[in-house]
């Protein structure tokens, strides 16, 4: 069976997934605890499709010897697998083992990541990638770690004038320390939202 396409994201209560200058320090400052939700994500993921912002953020964090699978890389070194980065500026990306640059449209990029995931899930990172997946009807679930703060400024989860409403169904809820782990199924485009009465 084909794996799902999941958006995995940490968000402030006011709906920001990064600070004003792409700051992510707040994510690491939350009084978190081992998260069964995050563990399940790691165990079931076969490939990552990420945007350029995420790639730049991760590579800024790890040292040159550690690489993207090191302790300061993706999922703290606890996951290995194919990583695809969708970028229009491939020339200034550093040469990382495991990372494949793509300049495709979203449908081709998801198809490539799906093939590499070999039946496991594809996890997408980045608001732009996720929004493209949502618009194309390619996103199955959103997994959110809700952080206890108001950021006030930065990169929004979703939303700009004119984008449509998208119905969700909450399928899981858990605490991991001060993080609140939420999992939502995305209503299929054209179908009614599942959560209306």
- Cβ pair 181, 173 in contact under 8 A: yes
Distance (Å, whole) CA 29 – CA 80: 25
Nearer to a second copy, 74 or 144 (CB): 144
Stretch that binds a second copy, among 82-90, 103-111, 114-122, 161-169 (CB under 8 A): 161-169
What angle separates helix 127-135 from helix 106-117, to the nearest 10 degrees? 100
Options 49, 123, 134, 155; binder of a second copy; rule CB under 8 A: 134
> Per CB under 8 A, does 184 bind a second copy?
yes
Q: Which is nearer to a second copy, 2 or 20 (CB)?
A: 20
Contact string 32-61 vs a second copy (x = CB under 8 A):
x-----------------------------
Is 165 an interacting residue with respect to a second copy (CB under 8 A)?
yes
Nearest to 154 by CA among 4, 27, 5: 27
> 82-111 mask for a second copy (x: CB under 8 A)?
------------------------------
Strands laid side by side in the 83-86 sheet: 99-102, 83-86, 45-51, 121-125, 5-12, 141-147, 179-186
Residues of this chain that interact with a second copy (CB under 8 A) are 13-16, 20, 26, 29-32, 134, 142, 144, 146-154, 156-170, 173, 175, 178, 180, 182, 184, 193, 195-197
């Amino acid at each position: 069976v084909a794996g799902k396409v999941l958006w995995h994201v940490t968000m402030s209560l006011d709906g920001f997934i990064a600070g004003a200058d792409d700051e992510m320090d707040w994510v690491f400052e939350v009084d978190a605890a081992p998260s069964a939700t995050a563990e399940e994500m790691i165990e079931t993921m076969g490939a990552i499709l990420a945007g350029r912002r995420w790639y730049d953020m991760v590579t800024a964090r790890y040292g040159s010897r550690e690489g993207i699978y090191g302790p300061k890389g993706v999922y703290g070194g606890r996951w290995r697998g194919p990583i695809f980065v969708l970028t229009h500026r491939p020339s200034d990306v550093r040469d990382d083992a495991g990372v494949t640059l793509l300049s495709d449209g979203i449908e081709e990029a998801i198809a490539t990541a799906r093939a590499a995931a070999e039946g496991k899930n594809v996890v997408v990172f980045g608001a732009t990638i996720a929004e493209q997946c949502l618009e194309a009807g390619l996103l199955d679930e959103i997994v959110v770690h809700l952080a206890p703060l108001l950021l006030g400024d930065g990169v929004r989860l979703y939303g700009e004038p004119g984008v449509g409403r998208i119905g969700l169904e909450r399928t899981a809820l858990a605490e991991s320390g001060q993080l609140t782990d939420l999992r939502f199924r995305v209503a299929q485009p054209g179908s009614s939202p599942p959560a209306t009465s």
